[in-house]
Structure 1
Amino acid sequence: MQTYEVRVPHTRSYEDPISVKKGDRVFLSGEMDDWDGHIWLWAKASDGRQGWLPSAYFEQWTDWQSCDFSMNTLELTCQIGSVLTATDEKFGWLLCHSGQGDINYDEKGWVPKRCLTLLGQ
């Protein structure tokens, strides 16, 4: 785990974003976005939720595909000066926990790495 300070505020893009589990099927629309050198694909889950998923997890980038991974894409809204603990990093994003308390109870979500500065270096 590493500790970061927010240097650029970030607001959650979607209140109920796509979340997938290994074995789920998603529809990939073919729409792509380059996020800091990582290609993301617009996907729709069988429950109707939509959002961006990393292209690195798919062999084909259109039509119905099976997921061989699990991922919750919920983002964390954070303000300048907030201190966050990161527990995972994927494709230009960090999975962060807010506050200094027990990370099992803090709010968590993904934050763009470019919005954060690593503390203690």
Structure 2
Amino acid sequence: MQRARVIAEHRSPDRPSIRVSAGDSVTLGERDSDWPQFVWATLAQGLGGWIPAALFDRDTGMATALGDYDTRELATIIGESINVHYEQEGWWWAENAKGESGWIPARAIELIEGDPT
């Protein structure tokens, strides 16, 4: 775990987060224009979210998840200090002082030097 300072506000999307587990079947759609390494994945229940394409056994259509993923994002404000745990595809899994956790783009934070990685 490492500490980071938020340098750009991040807002969570106005849609429910989804979770996939290894072995889950999803339907893959378009790639994100800002984050092309992410693909829109739709669960059988109809809910969808952006998930790294590398987590699936194919690029389009019906696919099987090869690992677990939660699309929850963490809302932050400039100047806030957060704990970051690991990075994936340009996003960090982070936790704020209230114990809330989720993804935040790497470009929205600055790692605090001297903290362990």
Common topology (TM > 0.5): yes
Instruction: Check conservation: 1:18, 1:73, Cα contact below 8 A.
Output: yes
**What RMSD, in angstroms, separates the aligned Cα atoms of the two structures?**
1.6
Partner of 1:22: 22
Identity %: 31
Q: Distance in 2 between matches of 1:14 and 1:66?
A: 26
After superposition, the C-alpha distances for 1:56-75 in whole angstroms (9 at most, x for unaligned) are 22342111111110000100
Deviation at 1:19, TM superposition (A): 1.2
The 5 A counterparts of 1:52-67 are 52-67=50-65
Segments of 5+ residues of structure 1 without an aligned counterpart are 100-104
Structure with the higher fraction of residues in strand conformation:
1
Segments of 5+ residues of structure 2 without an aligned counterpart are none
The answer to whether structure 1 residue 13 and structure 2 residue 17 are counterparts is no
SS of the residue corresponding to residue 54 of structure 2 reads helix
Deviation at 1:15, TM superposition (A): 3.9
The 5 A counterparts of 1:37-76 are 39-76=37-74
Instruction: Check conservation: 1:18, 1:44, Cα contact below 8 A.
Output: no
SS of the residue corresponding to residue 32 of structure 2 reads strand
Q: Distance in 2 between matches of 1:117 and 1:89?
A: 13
SS of the residue corresponding to residue 40 of structure 2 reads strand
Which aligned segments of 4 or more residues in structure 1 are displaced greater than 3 angstroms? none
Aligned residue-pair number: 114
Instruction: Check conservation: 2:20, 2:70, Cα contact below 8 A.
Output: yes
Question: Under a length normalisation based on structure 1, what TM-score does the superposition of the two structures give?
Answer: 0.86
